[in-house]
Structure 1
Amino acid sequence: MKNLKYILCLFIFTSCNSPKQLTFKTSKIDKVEVISRYLGKKTQMKAGFKEDFIADLNKSSTVTTEDNISTHKILIYKKNGKIDTLLTDGFLYQNKGFYKSKENLITKYSIEENNYLSDTVQGKLKTFERLQIYLKKEKHDKLASLFVNDVQWFIREIRVKDKERFKRWCVLWTFDKVAYKEYVIKIINKKDNLFDYENGEWKINQK
């Protein structure tokens, strides 16, 4: 009897702590589209990718995160007329919560020659977008991490010792929609000189 109670308690505990997953049903889905947020156009996917893509997507486990710097938007058109939207970088998916897959599903199912943005370009874009998010949400303690080591000391110093200068610095780095789009195009066209690759990440090299 004690063993039975133990097994029952263990089952309940395990069930409660099992990671939640997405539960899209292919039988209820008409089509799936993937849009590149930066290019503003559809990403061409492999023929007949829907079923395998949804199966892999449903294997994603729930995660807790503060950032989702998405490169793509997934549109899931259901047969009842509803559309589910997920923002993703290929690994992390935002849909009433955050879910993470074991592999990059955009890379896996897109046609390589039409997957226009290289890892380098995407890395720079993510850093640039993260900078704008941190500035707008006033997550000032995270700003220095987006810059190369030679610049980090400067940001930390003026933040502590010269608050007015730090405010002006934040304003200079906060781009409006037009300026943001212009710089995104520069990065995509590889005409920027704002980044260095340091410690496995693309970081901003200017003050």
Structure 2
Amino acid sequence: MKKITYIIYFLILVSCSTPKNLKFKPSEIEKIEVFSKYLGANIKIRGNFKEDFIVDLNKSNIFYTEENISTHKIIIYNKNKKTDTFLTDGYIYQNKNYYKSKENLIKKYAIEEHHFLSDTILGKLKTFELLQIYLKKEKYDKLPTLFVEEVQWFFKEIRKNDKKRFKRWCSLWTFDKATYEKHVVTIINGEDSLFDYENNGWKINQK
């Protein structure tokens, strides 16, 4: 009998702790706003957005990832005065958990194409943002993946043989908010010379 009790308790515990799929109801939502993270603009979306978008969002599946580099912020205003905020790249939606849709819902519903950044610029921005995340979280083993092969050897060498120089190197690449935003604007305007396309991704080409 005790075994059965423990099993039931375990199943209840697992059930409560397991993330559930999204279950928004369009009738309970007042409005939805979409903002471009890098461009700082409110994205205009087509009619029936609320109903159609929620149907698609509810179809998203639970998704596990260590980091999500978002390009947009979605705020859902509920009629009960509560709000739900999602950070997203169009596919992955981060709230308390991560959810992944089958298609880019931002591009599907937005009507202003000039609010979209090219895949090249987005690729560079994601690499640049991951650099800041890895440095601040001290995920140094992942750093080489962000640099071209010519630079990777330098990074590995100083990390192994010169701890002080490595610490100084990390400090130089960790930017404050103002410097970070300045680099972001430079990348968006296509005025950077920081990246090369290598191994199917945009990599930093400088030490």
Q: Post-superposition, which runs of at least 4 consecutive aligned residues in structure 1 deviate over 4 A?
A: none
- Write the distance in 1 (CA, Å) between the matches of 2:164 and 2:19: 46
- Write the distance in 2 (CA, Å) between the matches of 1:31 and 1:200: 39
- Write the distance in 1 (CA, Å) between the matches of 2:41 and 2:175: 23
Say whether residues 1:61 and 2:61 are aligned partners: yes
| Structure-to-structure mapping, 1:68-147, within 5 angstroms | 68-147=68-147
Check whether the contact 1:63–1:100 (CA below 8 A) recurs between aligned residues: yes
Question: Which runs of 5 or more structure 1 residues have no equivalent in the other structure?
Answer: 1-11
Counterpart residue number, 2:202? 202
SS of residue matched to 1:70? coil
Check whether the contact 1:72–1:89 (CA below 8 A) recurs between aligned residues: yes
Check whether the contact 2:19–2:97 (CA below 8 A) recurs between aligned residues: no
- Write the distance in 2 (CA, Å) between the matches of 1:53 and 1:98: 17
- Write the distance in 2 (CA, Å) between the matches of 1:43 and 1:154: 42
Counterpart residue number, 2:5? none
| Structure-to-structure mapping, 1:170-189, within 5 angstroms | 170-189=170-189
- Write the distance in 1 (CA, Å) between the matches of 2:204 and 2:22: 36
- Write the distance in 2 (CA, Å) between the matches of 1:57 and 1:72: 15
| Structure-to-structure mapping, 1:137-176, within 5 angstroms | 137-176=137-176
Counterpart residue number, 2:26? 26
CA offsets, 1:88-107, max 9 Å, x none? 11111111111111111111
- Write the distance in 2 (CA, Å) between the matches of 1:49 and 1:130: 31
- Write the distance in 2 (CA, Å) between the matches of 1:190 and 1:45: 27
Cα RMSD of the aligned pairs, angstroms, is 1.6
Counterpart residue number, 1:191? 191
Give 1:116 deviation, angstroms.
Answer: 3.1
Check whether the contact 2:43–2:112 (CA below 8 A) recurs between aligned residues: no
Give 1:19 deviation, angstroms.
Answer: 8.0
- Write the distance in 2 (CA, Å) between the matches of 1:116 and 1:191: 18
Please identify, of 170-179 and 111-120, the stretch whose mean Cα deviation from structure 2 is larger.
111-120
SS of residue matched to 1:45? coil
- Write the distance in 2 (CA, Å) between the matches of 1:171 and 1:206: 15
- Write the distance in 1 (CA, Å) between the matches of 2:163 and 2:139: 15
Normalising by structure 1, we get a TM-score of 0.88
Letter matched to residue 73 of structure 2: K
Say whether residues 1:45 and 2:69 are aligned partners: no
Check whether the contact 1:53–1:109 (CA below 8 A) recurs between aligned residues: yes
Check whether the contact 1:19–1:61 (CA below 8 A) recurs between aligned residues: no
- Write the distance in 1 (CA, Å) between the matches of 2:45 and 2:153: 44
- Write the distance in 2 (CA, Å) between the matches of 1:200 and 1:115: 25
SS of residue matched to 1:73? strand
Give 1:112 deviation, angstroms.
Answer: 4.8
Normalising by structure 2, we get a TM-score of 0.88
Give 1:81 deviation, angstroms.
Answer: 1.1
Distance 1:51 1:114, change over 3 A: farther
Question: Which runs of 5 or more structure 2 residues have no equivalent in the other structure?
Answer: 1-10
Give 1:200 deviation, angstroms.
Answer: 1.6
